[in-house]
């Protein structure tokens, strides 16, 4: 247990140091906007398909399940309220983060880890280039910026999926469904979900970059680092979601 605690604290300390270095490099010119935009396209735009499909079918399943449960109490007309609030507050940011964490986190770790085990990072330092500024900052900025945008689109797609089920399965009109959505969702609900997405993006990118920078042992070490990133990012998202919910509910 002592060895496990020591290793956990070492990882937390290393990620805290990497976070501080990332902040300093982000605030220090020159700003490589071209690298940032390229990472936003790769990490964000190319994740649209997986996040939208997940949100669509989550909204559809959620509408079906809640309609059967609420029908027992004569309240099936509140399906729109349940679906919209569940997606905007919790399922939208969490599921989007999990999908992006699995795809993006593994890719970041594999990319940086491969450069680490082949000594490309040492070559960058020998050429007076900072690996944190060149590699870490664009990925962190892109993930933090794009994950809230992906969450907004996922919320919208999920609500549309719920509306499809409400119209074709529950015989509700689309206008009735949307009226309930507008009445149920408040601005603080949207801001709460987007705030979570910002933190989730930061956690995913930091964990992925840290594991990539500390990969060892050739291709086998890169594989272990990639697996560790997916597991650690998923657990961090689920645990932090509880504390972030408590934090946002206190305002």
DSSP assignment of 35-66 equals: HHHHHHHHHTGGGHHHHHHHHHHHHHHHHHHH
pLDDT tens readout for residues 193-247: 999 999 999 999 999 999 988 888 777 888 888 988 999 999 999 999 999 998 8
Kindly state the helix (H) or strand (E) to which residue 244 belongs, with its residue range: helix 218-249
Q: What is the pLDDT of residue 236?
A: 93
Q: What pLDDT is stored for residue 56 in this prediction?
A: 93
Which pLDDT belongs to residue 74? 67
- The pLDDT, as a whole number, for residue 72 is 67
pLDDT of residue 20: 92
* Confidence category of residue 59, pLDDT binned at 50, 70, 90: very high
The average confidence (pLDDT) of the chain is: 88
Q: List, for residues 30-56, the tens digit of each pLDDT value.
A: 888 888 999 999 888 888 999 999 999
Round to whole Å and give the CA distance between 135 and 112: 8
Return left, alpha or beta for 130; rule: phi > 0 is left, psi -120 to 50 is alpha, else beta: beta
| E strands, the chain, in order | none
What mean pLDDT comes out for the span 54-70? Answer: 87
| Residue 181 near residue 84 (C-beta atoms within 8 A) | yes
Listed residue (198, 210, 185) closest to 241, CA to CA: 198
Contacts of 166-169 with CB under 8 Å at 24 or more apart are 166/63, 166/67, 166/79, 166/80, 169/63, 169/64, 169/67
pLDDT at residue 96, rounded to an integer: 94
The pLDDT of residue 139: 93
Quick check: 148 and 197 in contact, CB under 8 A? yes
Instruction: Name the residue with tokens 């697996």.
Output: 227
Q: How many CB atoms lie within 10 A of CB 47?
A: 20
Which residues, including other chains, have CB under 8 Å from residue 179's CB and lie 6 or more apart? Answer: 80
Q: Rounded to 5 degrees, what angle do the CA atoms 222, 226, 229 make?
A: 140
Cis peptide before 30 (omega within 30 of 0): yes
């Amino acid at each position: 247990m002592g060895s496990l605690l020591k290793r956990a604290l070492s990882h937390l300390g290393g990620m805290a140091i990497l976070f501080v270095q990332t902040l300093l490099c982000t605030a220090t010119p020159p700003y490589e906007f071209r690298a940032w935009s390229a990472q936003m396209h790769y990490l964000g735009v190319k994740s649209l398909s997986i996040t939208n499909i997940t949100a669509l079918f989550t909204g559809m399943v959620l509408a079906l399940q809640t309609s059967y449960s609420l029908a027992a109490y004569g309240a099936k007309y509140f399906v729109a309220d349940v679906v919209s609030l569940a997606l905007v507050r919790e399922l939208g940011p969490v599921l989007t983060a999990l999908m992006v964490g699995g795809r993006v986190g593994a890719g970041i770790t594999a990319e940086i880890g491969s450069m680490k085990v082949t000594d490309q990072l040492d070559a960058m330092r020998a050429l007076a280039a900072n690996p944190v500024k060149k590699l870490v900052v664009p990925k962190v900025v892109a993930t933090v910026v794009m994950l809230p945008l992906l969450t907004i689109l996922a919320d919208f797609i999920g609500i549309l999926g719920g509306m499809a089920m409400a119209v074709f399965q529950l015989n509700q009109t689309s206008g009735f469904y949307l009226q309930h959505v507008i009445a149920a969702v408040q601005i603080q609900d949207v801001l709460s979900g987007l705030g979570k997405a910002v933190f989730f993006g930061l956690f995913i990118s930091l964990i992925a970059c840290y594991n990539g920078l500390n990969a060892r042992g050739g291709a086998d070490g890169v594989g272990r680092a990639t697996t560790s990133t997916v597991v650690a990012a998923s657990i961090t998202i689920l645990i932090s979601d509880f504390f972030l919910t408590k934090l946002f509910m206190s305002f």
